[in-house]
Amino acid sequence: KNEVEQSPQNLTAQEGEFITINCSYSVGISALHWLQQHPGGGIVSLFMLSSGKKKHGRLIATINIQEKHSSLHITASHPRDSAVYICAVLPTPGAGSYQLTFGKGTKLSVIP
């Protein structure tokens, strides 16, 4: 089973700072999801990627398949970015049960 590790567990930043959240996994994957969980509990999908880099607004997600590592970057952070950011991975087909395995999440607090 894939082990998904996120770092840091908690992150406090000043408004405007550049933020990086990391995700490592132990077994090869077919896709990786970055999700945002709001303080109220709701979950929003930010990115799904299987290679390279994706950008949406101030958010950038990268993945290095060889190193089994992905990063989520937030540029010009804002207090409304405060949330828990979750990494989830999907195994390659045939590599056991085809389901998402989630990390524990990184809690981000952005202070004005």
Partner 1 sequence: EPEVTQTPSHQVTQMGQEVILRCVPISNHLYFYWYRQILGQKVEFLVSFYNNEISEKSEIFDDQFSVERPDGSNFTLKIRSTKLEDSAMYFCASSEAGWVNTQYFGPGTRLTVL
Q: Which residues sit at the interface with partner 1, rule CB under 8 A? A: 30-31, 33, 35, 40-45, 48, 50, 86, 88, 90, 97-105
In the complex, least distance from residue 14 CB atom to partner 1, rounded to whole angstroms: 27
CB atoms closer than 10 angstroms to residue 1: 11
Which is nearer to partner 1, 47 or 77 (by Cβ)?
47
Which is nearer to partner 1, 77 or 83 (by Cβ)?
83
In the complex, least distance from residue 80 CB atom to partner 1, rounded to whole angstroms: 18
d(Cα 91, Cα 94) in Å, to the nearest integer?
8
Which is nearer to partner 1, 24 or 77 (by Cβ)?
24
In the complex, least distance from residue 103 CB atom to partner 1, rounded to whole angstroms: 7
Which is nearer to partner 1, 55 or 104 (by Cβ)?
104
d(Cα 101, Cα 108) in Å, to the nearest integer?
21
In the complex, least distance from residue 106 CB atom to partner 1, rounded to whole angstroms: 12
Q: Which residues contact 29 (CB under 8 A, 6 or more apart)?
A: 2, 50, 65, 68, 89, 90, 91, 92
Q: Check the CA dihedral 45-93-67-10 and report its sign.
A: positive
d(Cα 59, Cα 57) in Å, to the nearest integer?
6
